[in-house]
Amino acid sequence: MQLKEQGVIHTNIELSEYADWDMFRSAYDWLVVQMVKRIGTPPSGVAYPFWAWHTMDWKHKKPDLRSMEFRGYSVPCVCLELEIPDNQVLLNDEENWNTILNRGYLGDATSDAEFDAEMAWFDTLPVEKQQLVQH
What confidence tens digit (pLDDT) does each residue in 85-105 have? Answer: 888 888 887 778 888 777 777
Q: What does the alpha-carbon distance between residue 116 and residue 111 come to, in Å, rounded to a whole number? A: 9
Q: What does the alpha-carbon distance between residue 114 and residue 124 come to, in Å, rounded to a whole number? A: 16
Question: 81 to each of 40, 50, 108, 124, how far by Cα in Å?
Answer: 23, 12, 34, 46
Whether the pLDDT of residue 135 is over 60: the answer is no
- More confident position, 120 or 13: 120
> Domain extents for the chain?
2-103, 104-135
Q: Are the C-beta atoms of 130 and 105 separated by less than 8 Å? A: yes
Strand partners for 56: 59
> Phi and psi at residue 41, in whole multiples of 5°?
-65, 135
Give the pLDDT band (50/70/90) at residue 117: very high
Q: Is 59 helix (H, G, I), strand (E, B) or coil?
A: strand
b (16+ CB within 10 A) / e for 103-116: eeeeeeeeeeeeee
Whether the pLDDT of residue 36 is over 90: the answer is yes
Q: pLDDT exceeding 90 applies to what percent of the chain?
A: 10
Give the pLDDT band (50/70/90) at residue 6: confident
pLDDT at 4: 84
Q: pLDDT exceeding 70 applies to what percent of the chain?
A: 95
Residue 10, judged by CB atoms within 10 A of its CB (0-12, 13-18, 19+), counts as middle
Q: Which of 56-60, 72-76, 131-135 is predicted least confidently?
A: 131-135
Please state the pTM of the whole predicted model: 0.64
Residue 28, judged by CB atoms within 10 A of its CB (0-12, 13-18, 19+), counts as buried
Mean pLDDT of 32-39: 91
